[in-house]
Structure 1
Amino acid sequence: MTTYRFFTATSLDGFLADEHDGLDWLLDQPQEDDNLLDYDRFIDGVGALVMGRSTYEWVTENLDVAGGGEWPYTQPAFVLTHAELAPVVPSVRFRAAEPAALRAELEEAAGDKEVWIVGGGDLARQFADAGMLDLVDVSVAPVLLGSGKPLFTGAYDLELLETGRNAGFLEARYRVVRSRS
Structure 2
Amino acid sequence: MTRFVYATATTLDGFLADADNSLDWLFAVEGGEESLSGLAEFTAGVGVLVMGSTTYQWVLDHERLLDHPEKWREFYPGMTTFVFSSRDLPVIPGADLTVVSGPVADHLPTILAAAGDKDVWVMGGGDLAGQFTDIGRLDEIMLSVAAVTLGSGAPLLPRRLESDRLRLVHVAQVGQFAELRYQLR
TM-score (norm: length of structure 2): 0.89
Partner Cα distance (2:97, 2:45) in 1:
19
Aligned partner (choices 62, 73, 76) of residue 73 of structure 1: 76
Segments of structure 1 that go 5 or more residues without pairing to the other structure are: none
Aligned partner (choices 142, 152, 155) of residue 147 of structure 2: 142
Q: Is the 8 A contact 1:32 1:167 kept in 2?
A: no
* CA deviations over 1:120-160 (Å, ceiling 9, x no partner): 11110000001110000111100111111111110113111
- Across the aligned residues of Structure 1 and Structure 2, the Cα RMSD in angstroms comes to 2.0
* CA deviations over 1:41-83 (Å, ceiling 9, x no partner): 1111111010011011000111001122522322111001121
How far 1:36 sits from its partner (Å)? 7.7
Pair 77,33 (structure 1): closer, same or farther in 2 beyond 3 Å: closer
Amino acid at match of 1:5: V
Partner Cα distance (1:51, 1:31) in 2:
24
Segments of structure 2 that go 5 or more residues without pairing to the other structure are: none
Segment of structure 1 superposing worse, 71-80 or 84-93: 84-93
Partner Cα distance (2:181, 2:18) in 1:
23
* CA deviations over 1:83-136 (Å, ceiling 9, x no partner): 122211331101112121111111111111100101211110000001110000
- How many residue pairs match? The answer is 177
List, as ranges, runs of 4+ consecutive aligned residues in structure 1 with deviation greater than 4 Å: 32-37
1:174 aligns with 2:182: yes
Partner Cα distance (2:96, 2:61) in 1:
17
Partner Cα distance (1:8, 1:36) in 2:
8
Aligned partner (choices 101, 109, 116) of residue 106 of structure 2: 101
Equivalence for 2:159: 154
Equivalence for 1:91: 96
Pair 126,34 (structure 1): closer, same or farther in 2 beyond 3 Å: closer
Counterparts of 1:1-181 in structure 2, within 5 Å, are 1-31=1-31, 37-68=37-68, 70-71=71-72, 72-74=75-77, 75-89=79-93, 90-157=95-162, 158-177=166-185
